[in-house]
Amino acid sequence: DAMVIQNPRYQVTQFGKPVTLSCSQTLNHNVMYWYQQKSSQAPKLLFHYYDKDFNNEADTPDNFQSRRPNTSFCFLDIRSPGLGDAAMYLCATSKTLDWGTDTQYFGPGTRLTVL
Amino acid sequence: DQQVKQNSPSLSVQEGRISILNCDYTNSMFDYFLWYKKYPAEGPTFLISISSIKDKNEDGRFTVFLNKSAKHLSLHIVPSQPGDSAVYFCAASARLSGSARQLTFGSGTQLTVLP
């Protein structure tokens, strides 16, 4: 089935040790997003790609970077994870940039633990 | 500053009864509203949406009501079933510029439907 896949589902890293989370999609959607969701809070958009065009949210820390080598894959790189970066990271896709009206399809998320 | 608020973190309802989940927003630029449903270990999935030009949208057992003057929307599930037990996220969208849109999520309400 067409879907959004995130690997790994659970990631443990050490304070300050770089970590990369992976997302792939078989929907052939133009837009891919990364959200951060902390416990009992709303998902917060970090950035999105429309094709190869990268759009960073104004309040996304520099510690977070992203790469999209092709349509299917998108990576979230956390250069120096802090304890406050422990969260669920959700990847999503949509066909167009009309996010409000165009459905976003979410992956199952990667839960990041920082020791 | 939370622009989309779901003030009830949890709700329990008996099977067969109506579930009413509430959402309030502050940004008058929001013109499209969505509800997502999330099961444990899965990503959010789109449930139902409503444009600001409407006050009601119905899809099977799910109905969303929008009261623009009160900046309030609600999701009604009738009749509630145990399989509806999940976290429900309210989201609101505003057009920024060109084709870009902002999508803002609430913090979610955990619905438990008791058999």
pLDDT for residue B12 is more than 80: yes
Extract the tokens encoding A110: 């990667």
Beta bridge partners of A113: A12
Cβ pairs A/B, distance under 8 A: 65
Query: How many residues are listed for chain A in this entry?
Result: 115
At B59-96, the pLDDT tens digits run: 999 999 999 999 999 999 999 999 999 999 999 988 76
Contact A100 B31 (CB under 8 A): yes
The closest CB to that of B99, out of A4, A97, A105, belongs to A97
Q: What is the distance in angstroms between the Cα of A84 and the nearest Cα belonging to chain B?
A: 18
Which 3 state secondary structure label does DSSP give A8?
coil
Structure confidence at residue B100 (pLDDT): 64
Q: If you measure CA to CA, which chain A residue comes closest to B108?
A: A42
Q: If you measure CA to CA, which chain A residue comes closest to B50?
A: A101
Contact A99 B108 (CB under 8 A): no
Structure confidence at residue A56 (pLDDT): 87
* Residue B99 touches chain A, beta carbons under 8 Å: yes
Structure confidence at residue B99 (pLDDT): 60
Structure confidence at residue A1 (pLDDT): 65
CA contacts within 13 A on the Cβ side of A87: 21
* Alpha carbon separation from A51 to A1, A20, A29, A48, A75 (Å, rounded): 22, 20, 9, 9, 14
Structure confidence at residue A39 (pLDDT): 86
| Per-residue DSSP letter, B84 | G
Which 3 state secondary structure label does DSSP give A41?
coil
Residue with tokens 């990364």: A34
Give the span between the Cα atoms of B77 and A78, in whole angstroms: 40
CA contacts within 13 A on the Cβ side of A114: 17
How many Cβ atoms from other residues are within 10 Å of residue B109's Cβ?
Answer: 21
Extract the tokens encoding A44: 């917060």
At B13-54, the pLDDT tens digits run: 999 999 999 999 999 999 999 999 999 888 899 999 999 999
The closest CB to that of A107, out of B36, B43, B100, belongs to B43
Residue ranges in chain A modelled with pLDDT below 50: none
Q: If you measure CA to CA, which chain B residue comes closest to A101?
A: B32
Contact B32 A43 (CB under 8 A): no
